[in-house]
Amino acid sequence: MIYDVKEFEQIRPYNNNEVKQAVNELLNDRQFNRVLKNVFPWMPRIARNGMIRAAFIGVSSTQKFQERLMYPLMKMLLRKCSTGHTFRHDTILPGRQRYTFVSNHRDIVLDSAILDVMLFDDKFPTTCEIAIGDNLLIYPWIRTLVRLNKAFTVRRGISARELLRSSHLMSKYMHYAIEEKKENIWIAQREGRAKDSSDHTQESVLKMLALEGDGTPIDRLATLNIVPLTISYEYDPCDYLKAKEFQQKRDNPDWKKSKQDDLDNMKTGIKGQKGHIHYQTAPCINQWLADYAGLPAPEMYKAIAHRMDLEIHKGYRLFPGNFVALDMLSGQPENATHYTHQEKKNFLDYIQSRIDLIDLPDKDVPFLRKQLFTMYANPVLNQRAAQAECDEKK
């Protein structure tokens, strides 16, 4: 397929020849400097600015920007906000080809950023270009930062006609990034996070991926080398905010999040404690994609999405709290072999501490507790259902 790169001007990351100017704009942005002050509160302003500027000497590509700024910042963040992180990727070959990682969505900002750290640590040839919704680009410095961090923009809140045009453009750009730029890509399996942690791939995402490229829809998907990726957090820093949203929507069906709500979720997700973090790849879907070539398009996309869900669900890393939550919902200690008495106490204390953070005038504590338990129990239920379905087919 022949690409006209001028088409991608409004959505693409910075090109390497634009990096130096973008870095200078970022360093001179007052809001960005206030963010740096929060990141390095102990450091005097002159020393902080000098350190940051020194780190950017010789940065001439988005990959170098990630190595110089994003990588050390993320390593520092992971040390402070997690008890460790692991990455299992024995199903793919790092040096052979580029991949489109399609994952469940746990954190607005960090899902792709943590993946980049892991790819860098495990000597992958390159990190990822990242699909990010333009609704999150609240300030100019955020737009500059994400474009430097190899992000391309997904348009949100547009008409059906504009959405189709935008989807074609994004699909074409992703094929271009894989085929011509030789970059990996990360994209969430659905628009927005699954508030109840029951992760399911939207067929519309697969349809978008197959809008452009050569050959049949199956051929187009195969060109992208799609890899289902499972993200597991021991603790979700935004769990109490999600529970709060459930009550707000229950009490007022017309309630919608504000830009400030998005910003609060971003800050909480970045700074909050996550416990252990685990990323796990499934095999590239090209191994089985052709099995669905003969189906009518609607059935084909539905079947592929379901197969990807099975792979993502099988890849969950489960923690004691997941099993405690399931037993609390059922009222039976059926999973007690998966946790100790102390682990149960610790998790229940944690849940109570999250409820205490919710600031609603008519706080429905039983409802909120149930929502929190459901979030942590769903990965267990989904993994068991996936494993049972796979066993049945053997």
- Token pair 């692991």 is found at 86
The verdict on residue 21 lying in a domain is yes
pLDDT of residue 135: 80
* 92-98 contacts at long range (C-beta below 8 A, 24 or more positions apart): 92/227, 92/281, 92/283, 92/284, 94/122, 94/123, 94/124, 94/125, 95/124, 95/125, 97/225, 98/126, 98/178, 98/182, 98/183, 98/184, 98/185, 98/225
Counting the structural domains of the chain, the total is: 2
pLDDT of residue 40: 65
Q: Tokens for 145? A: 């930062």
In 3-state terms, what secondary structure has residue 58? coil
Q: Where are the alpha helices (DSSP H) in the chain?
A: 19-27, 30-39, 45-55, 62-65, 71-81, 110-121, 140-148, 160-179, 203-209, 217-223, 239-251, 259-271, 297-314, 320-330, 341-357, 365-393
Q: Where are the alpha helices (DSSP H) in 56-159?
A: 62-65, 71-81, 110-121, 140-148
The verdict on residue 346 lying in a domain is yes
pLDDT tens string, the chain, 394 residues long: the values are 889 999 999 999 999 999 989 988 888 888 888 877 776 666 676 776 777 777 777 888 999 999 988 898 899 999 999 999 999 999 998 877 899 999 999 988 899 999 999 999 999 999 999 998 888 788 889 899 999 999 999 888 788 889 999 999 999 999 999 999 999 999 999 987 888 999 999 999 999 999 999 999 999 999 999 999 999 999 999 999 999 999 999 999 999 888 788 888 888 999 899 999 999 999 999 999 999 999 999 999 999 999 999 999 999 999 999 999 999 999 999 999 999 999 999 999 999 999 999 999 999 999 999 999 999 999 999 999 999 999 988 7
Chain centre to alpha carbon of residue 2:
30
CA angle 269/177/150 to nearest 5° reads 35
Same domain as 309, residue 161: yes
The verdict on residue 281 lying in a domain is yes
The verdict on residue 257 lying in a domain is no
Q: Which domain holds residue 301?
A: 5-237+272-316
Same domain as 32, residue 81: yes
pLDDT of residue 42: 67
Last residue in a domain, options 316, 345, 377 = 316
What is the C-alpha separation between 91 and 312, in angstroms, rounded? 13
What is the C-alpha separation between 112 and 148, in angstroms, rounded? 14
Last residue in a domain, options 316, 351, 372 = 316
Same domain as 288, residue 378: no
The verdict on residue 60 lying in a domain is yes
What is the C-alpha separation between 394 and 392, in angstroms, rounded? 6
The verdict on residue 17 lying in a domain is yes
CA angle 215/218/222 to nearest 5° reads 90
Q: Tokens for 40? A: 């390095």
What is the C-alpha separation between 183 and 31, in angstroms, rounded? 31
Last residue in a domain, options 294, 316, 338 = 316
- Token pair 């106490």 is found at 345
In 3-state terms, what secondary structure has residue 186? strand
Model-level pTM greater than 0.85? yes
